[in-house]
Amino acid sequence: VTGEKHLPHLKAARSSAARFLKVLRKCEPAINSQVLILDLLEDGFGEHPFYHCLIAEVPKEGQTGSSCTVGYAMYYFTYDPWIGKLLYLEDFYVMEPYRGLGIGSEILKRLSQIAIKTNCSCMHFLVVIWNKPSIEYYVRRGALDLSTEEGWHLFRFDKENLLRMASGE
């Protein structure tokens, strides 16, 4: 990004990226933040974002105008030629001391509004099967387990296999 005219956007992007990085560090401390800083800026807040995020903040007690991040959602869009666009929720997290206050519900509500506004036919997300509390949380809100009901299994090819396939071996 070069040129004076890009600076305001870059400042806003840097500020948003910094806030996202801050919530990630709080919620997912194992992530290597040194690698993420540059990737996050480019991949989430540049001209062609790979992902979008919502950040939940609460006012800091006794400090007017100040807030602290307590949760986030990271999502992107996928596509099915038979049903069109889908919103795919990749990360959804509320810090433990702030659970049970409706913050997660509010995030899901905003995500649902975004999905409808962007013409998505549905929202997909992954949950580990033995995470019963999470599954109950989603099922209560109308989610359907497609892996159990329809047999959908997630397959992954790691970097090594990607490189091998890309070379045509």
Please name which of 42, 119, 49, 55 lies closest in space to residue 87, comparing C-alpha atoms: 119
Shortest distance in whole angstroms from residue 133 CB to other proteins: 14
Of the two residues 10 and 103, which places its CB atom closer to other proteins in the complex?
Answer: 103
Catalytic residue among 72, 75, 93, 138: 138
> Nearest approach, Cβ of 102 to other proteins (angstroms)?
4
- Could you please report the per-residue DSSP string of 17-71? HHHHHHHHHHH-TTS-HHHHHHHHHHHHHSSS-S-EEEEEEEEPTT-TT-EEEEE
CA distances from 55 to 52, 92, 106, 119 (A): 10, 10, 11, 22
What is the rounded (10 degree) CA torsion for 111, 115, 121, 125?
A: -30
CA angle, 108 as apex, 72 and 82 as ends, to 5°?
110
Nearer to other proteins, 15 or 80 (CB): 80
Tell me how far, at minimum, the Cβ of 146 lies from other proteins, in Å. 5
Q: Which is nearer to other proteins, 4 or 168 (CB)?
A: 168
72 is catalytic: no
Q: Closest distance between other proteins and the C-beta of residue 65, in Å?
A: 21
Q: Is 7 or 161 the residue whose CB approaches other proteins more closely?
A: 161
In sequence order, the β-bridge partners of residue 73 are 54, 92
Q: How many residues does the chain have?
A: 169
Which residues are known catalytic residues? 138
